[in-house]
Amino acid sequence: MEIRRLNGGDAEGYRALRHEALLKNPEAFGSSYEDERNYAASDYRQRLDSKFTYTFGAFNESQLVGVVTLVPEGKVKLKHRANIFAMYVTPAQRGQSTGRLLMKKAIQQANELTNIEQIYLTVNASNEPAKKLYASLGFETYGVDKNAMRIDGSYHDEELMVLFL
């Protein structure tokens, strides 16, 4: 398993995996397939080439099978914080430490950015495997966002988690 930072050259593979994620696990993302289905690879290329975000990919024999994005805060008062977004591992790769490797890489990147002291993420409150992974890496729940998302008339709570570095 190779874990590396993605760049604009990975845009096509990222787009395909992102659309898969939004279709297979809509409850895990604030964005939806309907929101992003018309995004071209060039839209993702710009995101992946940004020097202000760090998107890491997990590759199994050159196939992109998982992603996670670390976004440091830009405002002066919040520069000690970063956020985890868009975590996804293909169903076939789950349970094989792919998510753990991606998260460890994102945490390592945060540690290398000298001013980051805390990492935040949100996770669907019913996603026990993800919550267990995050807790095993030191993340702690500090709150619950009730009815955070509404999908097809059903509400989903999100747990708010933080890791102090």
CA dist 111 and 149 (Å) reads 31
pLDDT at 76: 92
pLDDT at 161: 98
Residues of the chain with pLDDT under 70: none
pLDDT at 114: 81
What's the CA dihedral at 159, 163, 57, 1 to 10 degrees?
-110
Residue 104 has φ and ψ, to the nearest 5°, of -60, -35
pLDDT at 28: 87
Q: Which two tokens stand for residue 45?
A: 């290329």
Structural domains in the chain, CATH included, are 2-164 (3.40.630.30)
User: What DSSP element (H or E) covers 20?
Assistant: helix 11-24
pLDDT at 58: 97
Taking alpha carbons only, the member of 25, 3, 136 closest to residue 88 is: 25
pLDDT at 130: 94
Q: Which two tokens stand for residue 43?
A: 């839209």
pLDDT at 40: 85
Give the pLDDT confidence of 14-58 residue by residue, as tens digits.
999 999 999 989 888 888 888 888 888 888 998 899 988 999 999
Query: In the predicted model, what is the mean pLDDT of the chain?
Result: 93
Taking alpha carbons only, the member of 45, 130, 125 closest to residue 87 is: 130
pLDDT at 63: 93
Cβ-Cβ contacts under 8 Å for 41 (sequence gap 6 or more): 11, 12, 15
